[in-house]
Amino acid sequence: MKISTVLDQIDLGAIALPEFQRGYVWNRNQVRGLLLSLYRRHPVGMLLVWVTATETASARGDGALQPGFVKLLLDGQQRITSLYGIMRGKSPQFFEGNDQAFTGLHFNLQDETFEFYAPLKMKENPFWIDVTQLMQNGTGEFVQRLATMPELQADLSAYLRRLTDVEGIKNIELYVEEVTGKDKTVDVVVDIFNQVNSGGTKLSKGDLALAKVCASWPEARTALRGCLDKWRGAGYHFRLEWLLRSITTITTGQALFSGLDSVDMHTFRKGVQQAERATDKLLTMISGRLGLDHDRVLGSRYSFPLMVRYLTQRGGNLADSKERDKLLYWYIHTFLWGRYAGSTETRLNQDLAAIEQQDGALDRLIDQLRQDRGDLGVHPDDFRGWSVSARFYPLLYMLTRVNHAQDWGTGIELSDQMLGKLSSLQLHHIFPKALLYKYGYDRQEVNALANFTFLTQETNLCVSDRNPAEYLPEYARKHPGAIESHWIPMDPQLWQVENYRDFLAARRELLARSANGFLDSLVKGSVPDVAVIAEPVLERLEPPVPGTVATDQEEQLIRECNEWVVCLGLPEGEYMFELADPETGEPLAILDLAWPHGLQERYSEPVAMLVDEGKDTEEAANRARYRYFTNVSEFQTYVRREILALTEESV
């Protein structure tokens, strides 16, 4: 089939892209290579299409499909999308990606090369020909222009032949292999797709599950993204596959996406509504009861698929506050100990089985946690971690909210401050960073969890970089009890910078006691107004997890970097990505910004942005085969040159 015919078939709705296909990911180098191969009349491979009934076809985009049968493109999306964009001057209806990859392609009549438009090189240069203009208008106007230029007459015939060869690309025949037959279900076709793409992108289990759903309900992806957009607006960032997992647990009682095979569309649609309502309720519950009111402190989002199943089993409502608090007790421990950081599906199926019989379900869940951990008590050295990326950071934030910690400057309880992403509550280093660095403390000690507390913005600005030996006595006199409410050891000797390590040890002990008191009362259904001070517990020393976002400036830099990537049409990275051991689930490092599947998802290597990190974090990323960058400028150069294949002149 001629290339021009293939493009006509796309316009007619006779050829489309199946729903399970990912978006366009080619860069400019790949597009140039394709056009050069076609210009030289080299083979560029066949197309593979799935011939299926139009009424059951699930295709990308909102274009109308031809009646009867449609050909869904299994192999050749990147090539055909590139050719469509160049020859039509616009993206096909099913397009999803970065159209810079095929916009502005030019051909040089002298050296017979293809390059993207660069004003300094090409403007008013007759040897550079706009390929899209040539494909749409033919050679006529270019022939007339060249014929009026005396300096080109000697080689005019060669130039005309080259123009004709470029335009003739549209008439090149591509072999089209068809997959047909009633036995070619979505499962079979996706298996064929994965075999054909063994060297490139493979569909994940979630992709396959969603493809099957979209075959019967084409609007499914839009409906799910609507939920995600709503939660994003409230400050919670979830992924589509995460939501699909919750729908799976609700409708099947299991974690594996394959369970959706037996779910009819009426049940699935109801599951979407149930998952949305249950997630709304859980976010409200976690925010209101625990004070975990934004994305950074949410804890284990992978516990939600079980909790939404638990809520749905009970008609969307819990019996009383005791049941609510026991569920929250379990939830807190899942993020403290990384319950789902490793083998998510295996652990989740184990826990789903424990709640299938409703009586005693929460007790069984907690028992399973205890069997794996051996001890659910919080130890002082559990607070030995550092940075806002540590697993115990949400616990520190939570204790501040639920235990009525007071703002030092006003004496008002911080639980009364505004909740949510616009909160005036700010992270405060008790011992200021500049002071600690001056006295030779290293970065992990400076950003230790036990050196963190939370204050209103006004108080945080007033305290600024003052020495705690100076400002703590002032606030202790001004608002008696306010300093103690933040688990600050009250021995003035510990407020001296030379005794900083002893201060950290003493505060870790106070935090552990408070945490155990709150958690114990939570599971017993008797949370007091003031946290219970439990008996001292034995210390357990565990190495800190490397990686941190240590400052507001660093966080802003990372977020701006991520926004820059998204503006280029590339996938959003994951903030503070926990790199965990796939077998044990133990955290290995925190990556400031990561693309675990690459910037061209599953076509390129995992990538991470590490801002001001130590060698341990870099080594962990390297062992996990991440390509990491420690400089934003170098990262942006990588994106432009290797992902988008842009020249500096075309940027």
Residues 79 and 154 in one domain: yes
- pLDDT at residue 401 greater than cutoff 70: yes
Residue 156 covered by a domain = yes
Residue 194 lies in a domain: no
Q: What is this structure's pTM? A: 0.65
Query: Which one has a higher pLDDT value, 363 or 343?
Result: 363
Structure confidence by residue, pLDDT tens digits, 362-391: 999 999 999 988 889 999 988 887 765 578
Mean pLDDT of all residues in 502-524: 94
The larger pLDDT score, comparing residue 278 to residue 586, is at 278
* Domain stop point among 325, 340, 373: 373
Residue 403 has pLDDT above 80, yes or no: yes
Closest Cα to residue 97, out of 60, 147, 47, 62? 60
56 falls in which pLDDT band (50, 70, 90)?
A: confident
Same-domain pairing of 413 and 359: no
Q: Within a domain: residue 88? A: yes
Q: Are residues 314 and 360 in the same domain?
A: yes
Residue 233 lies in a domain: yes
User: Which residue, 314, 338, 373, sits at the end of a domain?
Assistant: 373
Parallel, antiparallel or unpaired: strands 15-16 and 69-75: parallel
pLDDT at 582 over 70: no
Query: How many independent structural domains does the chain possess?
Result: 4
The pLDDT value recorded for residue 295 is: 82
List, for residues 179-221, the tens digit of each pLDDT value: 887 777 666 776 676 666 654 455 566 776 787 787 678 788 8
Query: In degrees, to the nearest 5, what angle opens at C-alpha 575 toward C-alphas 373 and 401?
Result: 60
> What confidence score (pLDDT) does residue 117 get?
87
What gap in Å lies between CA 384 and CA 153, rounded to an integer? Answer: 79
> Residue 533 domain-assigned?
no
pLDDT in tens, 245-261: 999 999 999 998 878 87
Coil/strand/helix, residue 47 = strand
CA 648/CA 651 separation, integer angstroms: 5
Between 474 and 425, the more confident residue is: 474
| Judgement on whether residues 360 and 418 belong to the same structural domain of the protein | no
Residue 199 belongs to a domain:
no
252 plus 145 within the same structural domain: no
What does each C-alpha distance from 82 to 25, 132, 291, 422 come to in angstroms? 10, 11, 49, 43
The predicted structure's pLDDT at residue 377: 92
Q: Considering only 296-310, 482-496, 554-568, which range has the smallest mean pLDDT?
A: 554-568
Reduced to 3 states (helix: H, G, I; strand: E, B; else coil), residue 602 is coil
Same domain (yes/no): 424, 333 = no
408: Cβ contacts below 8 Å, ≥ 6 apart: 455, 459, 463, 475, 478, 479, 482, 483, 486
Structure tokens that stand for 407 in this block: 């703002």
pLDDT of residue 418: 45
| Residue whose tokens read 């400076």 | 446
pLDDT at 538: 27
**Percent above pLDDT 90 for the chain:** 43
On whether both 368 and 423 belong to a single domain, the answer is: no
pLDDT value at residue 508 = 95
Helix (H) or strand (E) holding 119: helix 119-122
What pLDDT shows up at residue 203?
Answer: 57
CA distance 136 to 356: 63
Q: At 48, phi and psi to the nearest 5?
A: -120, 125
513 domain-assigned: yes
Structure tokens at 463: 């305290």
Residue 530 included in any domain: no
DSSP letters for 324-364: HHHHHHHHHHHHHTTTTSS-HHHHHHHHHHHHSS-TTHHHH
| Residues 559 and 429 occupy one common structural domain | no
Task: Please say which residue of 154, 186, 218 terminates a domain.
Answer: 186
Q: Give residue 557's domain range.
A: 552-650
Same domain, 38 and 130: yes
Q: What is the arithmetic mean of pLDDT over 270-280?
A: 96
Looking at the structure, do residues 21 and 170 belong to the same domain, yes or no? yes
| Statement: residue 74 has pLDDT above 80 | yes
* 473 and 578 assigned to the same domain: no
Beta bridge mates, 130? 106
Q: Which of 49-63, 183-197, 420-434, 542-556 has the least mean pLDDT?
A: 542-556
User: Same structural domain for residues 357 and 406?
Assistant: no
